[in-house]
Amino acid sequence: GSTPGPSSQPYPACCLAWAVTKAIPSRQLRALHNEVAQLAQLVGAETIEFGASHGVLSTSRNAGGDSTKASKDVENESTSESDAMVRLGQLISRWASEEEPEVTVRIGVHIGEIEWIILPTPPPPGQVKGYFGSAVTTAKYLAETAPKENCVHLLRSTKETLKALESISFHMVMSHGSPPTIKSYYLEPWEQAREQAREDGAIDPKAPGLQKELSLQIRNEVAPKIFKQNFKDLTLEEFAYFLESYGVSTAKFGRGQAKPLESFYNELASEKRSYLFENKAEGTLERKVEIVRVSLVAGNIDEGTDYCLMVAYEIMQDGRPRFRNQKLAVVVPDGVGWQEAVRNKFQRTFKLSKEVFEQSLKVEGSFFKEERMISPSIPGLMTTYRTHEIRLRVQDIMTDGLQAIGLPYFTPFATDTPKDAGVSGGPHESWAWAAVGGVSTDKAESLHKLLAEYKIRESEFEAGAFDALLEEVYDTRISTLMVRNKELTRNLQIIKVWVYADIHSVPHCLVHVSKTQRGKCDSRAKNRPISARMPQDKDWKAALYDTMHTRLGVPPEDWSKQFELDEGTYRQCEEVEYSRSYPGLKSVYRIHEVTCRVSHTLVQLGLPDGHDFAFSRQENDGSLVITNYAWKPLKDIAGRNSAMGFKKGLLDDSEGVEEAEQYDPKRRLPVPPKLQAKQQVGLQRSWTKALGSSSCMVGDLMAGRNADWARAKNAAKRIRDQDYNLKMFTDDCVAAFPELALYMGVTAAGGEPSTLSSGRSADDEYQRTMGALYAVYWLMRWDTDGPQSFSFGVDDNWNPLTAESERPRRDKAEVKKRSVFLEQVDWSLFAQVLVAAGLLTTTENDGDDGTTRYSHDEERTLAMLALTAIHDIMKVEQLCPVVDGWIGAFSGYKPGEVITDHDVALGYVLENLPDALPSYAGLPQTQRDSVKFTQCNMEYNMGWLVQAEAPPGALFTKFRQIIRAGKADPRDVAFYFTHWITDLAGAEPCPQEGAEKFVLKFPRSVLTMFLNSFEFVQYLSTKSETQVFEDYLDWRWKIVQPSLGNAPAGSGSVAQQRITVMAQGSCQTWLDAYGALDGQLRDVLATEFALTGAPGQSYSKDPCTCSGPAFLVYYAPALLQKNSSEAGGALGVLATVLRQARDLWPLEAGSAGETVTVFVDALKELTVQAMQITEPGEVWAVVKNGAKSAQVKKVILSTMQQDGLAWSNVRLLSFQGLAQAPRPMFQDEVAIKGLVPLGEAVVPVAQDVQQTSAVVCSMCWAPTWMCANR
């Protein structure tokens, strides 16, 4: 036999395995290898195995297994090898995600043992090593089984070795056992790995020499004050310079476990829980903490039982009660012995004289411990901890003077502690005697011992933190204490809810803005979803309902009527944090994360327009919490901005961020005074009831008030004049339309303020109405100065602002956004809508230069101004009318009921009580009809049209019915859309700043499509729903570049047109993929997309049988756009979903006018290959959840019955074979010369990995172990 070659002994290492999962061009493959090499050098890693599309890296070690210098540079007390490799995997994932087209990789990281041997390769021999061992093999296995692409997959054993990345959020991969257990973790590419930023005004020296000199000067001045604990007149800045003079970096305060500098200052100055002294031998500043825990025991002679004095609760300085059940604690000030400190405590708090104390209380036992170390909460200062545990016994409970402490009858009592008594807490404390060994004392003692055993110092806790921990562990059971990896941890569960809604066809998410409690505003949770702690024993769904109730006011019984839960998005993740309230005690948060979608328009949540709103709730302690929420486009809170790139380092940027420049606040207009409600005597109008109380308060308020038609007509006449500026227009509108005062609400007879259904303030609604009027003014001047003001707003002199304007001071990014909007928007599209609405008129080629001349229709313009002034007045709830009996039911409201929908309420007044509103009553009848038409509920979703997402029946039927019932013409439809545009443009309550809703917050491409679509919708008055939709599809086909040729005809033509619109790009690729589809799948798409959902209608070019229901696949455009590089697979998924949905809703002639909505939001963010990956026993399914709705989600076959799913409402899906099957990741088609890929040898996998596999039945798509066909 041959002589064995050199080899190594097993040594510990951390390995990363990566593999490309989908074929990519050679250009990208080379770029990937270059990126991996650069990143490996950055974190001190070396490649130990590689092929064309895979590789394995390890922390750099020499032949003996010792770390090399590069590896040591990364590994230190704050970072570990596993930090470096996990971060390396995350950076690779980020790079891959940013590529165009996206590169998909799977990454596994594992820490374990590794060995190498010299491989018998061709000459020169002895130079190629082959690596093996658990670290290598398990890393590969984790890459192979990663739950998704472009993430880092690892086991708990590796996660627990992290240091720098310990607190980053990891998602958990759960087993399907009962109960489910954690199998592994994965890290998303854009989770932030950053050091916690400072939260106080710490001094961070920029010029060391100058600052040091200044610090030494201040040290000499303030040192005597600090060492004598005389903090009077000492500022926080002086204190910071004092610390800097001893080399204590204040920049480290407020990060990680470290207290904010201000908290440390208060600890010394007001709480007096510690003190500072100078170690003269070493010339350093040190801190001392000395406390005494006192067990004051008295015997009950009658019972033969000992009782211990406990603090039952205290009233804090802000009035809050805090329950404690804790023994007496005394802080020992500098220069005072512990005996004297205890005696002083009893004298000052309990009013016991020195004589009574010494005669009646005897020390029965004591214990003392002293330790010296750096505190995690006070960085840079050596701290000496001196702890005394003493037991005092009352000698005779009958002694005169002990009545002050509730003796001899052990009665509860209260004390008022002076603020300078040397003890933290509130000024008012309630005391009680508890039996020794009782529940309350046992709990506190157990917690004291547990914390001490794991070297967690209560003396470092914030005031009241121990009591809060005791309460949450033993009483409310919000948290549990567990030992993990020989470390005590505090474990909590959090429910996190992402609430989605489509606002003007743009996906938005509801996020926190700020929270106000006890007069303090906290914005640390900005842009985060709704979340709350949940009890350890509560199911996540029950916690979801409770959280939506307490955070948004949605009753649990109404939840399912207003929201749709997407259970397919449910996942768990884990975050680790060191709380500043409990220094040294690690908090582990298990987060239950899920998405739900608003299914009905909820005005109280700022819908349908996505307004900001606030919600208030009362906490258990009686404090009021006001939370401000905002709707933000999903793309803005996705956690990253690819245009900005990312930092290639162990942590993301958190330092070096310059202080934010101060920008000017958004300006608001002065508001009119509130109107006074008054009793109308002797009026015999249609809105006055027989009893004298009004069924329409707006009629009472406007009685005797008239519109100033001279000013109104002047505004309508001069709106396009160059010498008629916005200030003149404002003055005319405010003087002309008396209804504008209604937005400020009314003062009712009882003096109570009015409320608004929108959840906004009255001032906000007035500002928004003025913003809508300004949008009319600017758009009517689209060919002069209108676009400039629309984009930038006006200055304080009412002149248009520009990008160069010095005031108001604005963020540079905001100014750039405004400039881009001004330059890139096609303003003629606005003009086309205004022309179609009859507001603008044109004269073709009438000028010397041959250009089109624009003028305007004054009467039509007047109607638009009047409509804009009155359109939202019914948001003031006191103004909402009551349906009169002589009118009968109106839009679903019965006689005697208050009309709470503000649009319906205004429509009721315009229809039945037109004289109540002067600005409407004085319009010509034709213009009144146009205004009245705008208040109809059209049930129109513009996004469904611009993305061809819905069939024409769902899109237009209600809209067309209203048009035909009111005999509206195309001008009225365009008038409605003009009002929609100007209303939305003015949605932000700062009218002088421009149309910020469109300019800063609305996707420009969506706006352009909306404007283009108006041309087609206006013809609903003369064409059928299907004809209008077909015209739109033909136009979209015609404008595609490069040209697609003539529009298709025949079977499948509508499917091809809708697919190209949904895909939003690479149209020819999608058409080719459609043609290459399996014949059955292609027929499904052709048939389903040709159904109209409108009875008796079919497409002229692709006629179909008039049956139904038709399907609206909600989020189908997003699904296709996500899979642009796998077009055939994406179309196959869509066809598979439609085929199984049709099995739930068979075609019937009587259902031709119906549409069923199938939600596929669980698929829209997944690649087709990712859809093919499921756990054993888990399958995708279409689940019927209503008479006209279904949802695609994953179901667990073994728990379907427990989950309330009946087989009759479920159709299983299989996406296998719709995308190229992934080949073995670590076997390349083309190996790189000189290396032999691993894969032939079987190497044991790490013990904490459980390998599973599933075989699926080709008939029912169930795992074979459950299949009846096996």
1193-1228 per-position pLDDT tens digit: 888 888 888 878 888 999 999 988 776 555 556 654
Per-residue H/E/C for 486-517: CEEEEEEEEEEEEEEEEECCEEEEEEEEEEEE
Q: Who wins on pLDDT, 678 or 795?
A: 795
* Residue 820, pLDDT above cutoff 90: yes
Q: Which of 1140, 1123, 1242 is nearest to 1192 (CA)?
A: 1140
Cα distances from 246 to residues 223, 250, 278, 381, 460, in angstroms, run: 11, 11, 9, 10, 22
Mean pLDDT of 936-956: 85
* Residue 218, pLDDT above cutoff 80: no
1157 has which bridge partners?
A: 1112, 1189
Mean pLDDT of 1027-1041: 92
pLDDT in tens, 1087-1144: 999 999 999 999 999 888 778 899 999 889 989 988 888 899 999 999 999 999 999 9
* pLDDT at site 1236: 30
pLDDT in tens, 305-358: 889 998 877 766 555 556 567 788 888 887 788 889 899 889 888 989 889 998
Amino acid sitting at position 1177: G
Rounded Cα–Cα distance for residues 1064 and 1048 (Å) = 18
For the ranges 210-219, 296-305, 434-443, the lowest mean pLDDT is seen at: 210-219
pLDDT in tens, 32-68: 999 999 999 988 899 999 888 999 999 865 544 555 5
* Residue 4, pLDDT above cutoff 70: no
Mean pLDDT of 268-294: 84
Q: Which of 728, 708, 709 is nearest to 718 (CA)?
A: 728
Amino acid sitting at position 1138: L
Mean pLDDT of 499-528: 81
Q: If you write DSSP's letter for every residue of 142-200 in order, what string do you get? A: HHHT-SSSSSEEE-HHHHTT-STTTTS-EEEEE-SSSS--EEEEEE-TTS---PPPP-S
The proportion of the chain whose per-residue pLDDT surpasses 90, expressed as a percent, equals 34
For the ranges 390-394, 476-480, 793-797, the lowest mean pLDDT is seen at: 476-480
User: By the 8 A CB rule, do 944 and 954 touch?
Assistant: yes
Rounded Cα–Cα distance for residues 1006 and 240 (Å) = 52
* Residue 756, pLDDT above cutoff 70: no
Q: What is the mean pLDDT of the chain?
A: 81
* Residue 919, pLDDT above cutoff 90: yes
* pLDDT at site 319: 56
* pLDDT at site 521: 77
Q: Could you give phi then psi for residue 1224, rounded to 5 degrees? A: -55, 130
Split at pLDDT 50, 70, 90, the class of 1031 is very high
* pLDDT at site 63: 43
* pLDDT at site 1258: 40
Query: What's the distance, CA 426 to chain centroid?
Result: 36
* pLDDT at site 1257: 44
Task: Provide the terminal-to-terminal Cα distance of the chain, rounded to the nearest Å.
Answer: 50
Q: Which of 879, 875, 837 is nearest to 856 (CA)?
A: 837
* Residue 605, pLDDT above cutoff 90: no
Split at pLDDT 50, 70, 90, the class of 215 is low
* Residue 923, pLDDT above cutoff 90: yes
* Residue 895, pLDDT above cutoff 60: yes
Q: Given 3-state DSSP classes, what are the helix, strand and coil percentages for the chain, each rounded to the nearest 5?
A: 35, 25, 40
* pLDDT at site 662: 67
* pLDDT at site 257: 66
Rounded Cα–Cα distance for residues 783 and 921 (Å) = 32
786 Cβ neighbours under 8 A, 6+ residues apart: 777, 778, 779, 780, 827
Long-range contacts of 615-623, Cβ-Cβ distance < 8 Å, separation of 24 or more: 615/551, 615/552, 615/553, 617/550, 617/551, 619/517, 621/320, 621/321, 622/320, 623/320, 623/517, 623/518
Element (H, E) at 325: strand 321-331
* Residue 1077, pLDDT above cutoff 80: yes
* pLDDT at site 200: 41
* Residue 978, pLDDT above cutoff 90: yes
* pLDDT at site 658: 40
Q: Who wins on pLDDT, 800 or 608?
A: 800
* pLDDT at site 1244: 37
* pLDDT at site 850: 60
pLDDT in tens, 1224-1268: 566 543 333 233 333 333 333 344 443 333 333 443 433 333 333
552 token code pair: 């948004």
Apex CA 683: angle with CA 680 and CA 687, to 5°? 90
* Residue 943, pLDDT above cutoff 60: yes
Q: Which of 557, 531, 554 is nearest to 543 (CA)?
A: 531
Mean pLDDT of 498-519: 83
The proportion of the chain whose per-residue pLDDT surpasses 70, expressed as a percent, equals 82
pLDDT in tens, 668-679: 998 887 666 544
* pLDDT at site 221: 67
* pLDDT at site 439: 58
Rounded Cα–Cα distance for residues 159 and 537 (Å) = 26
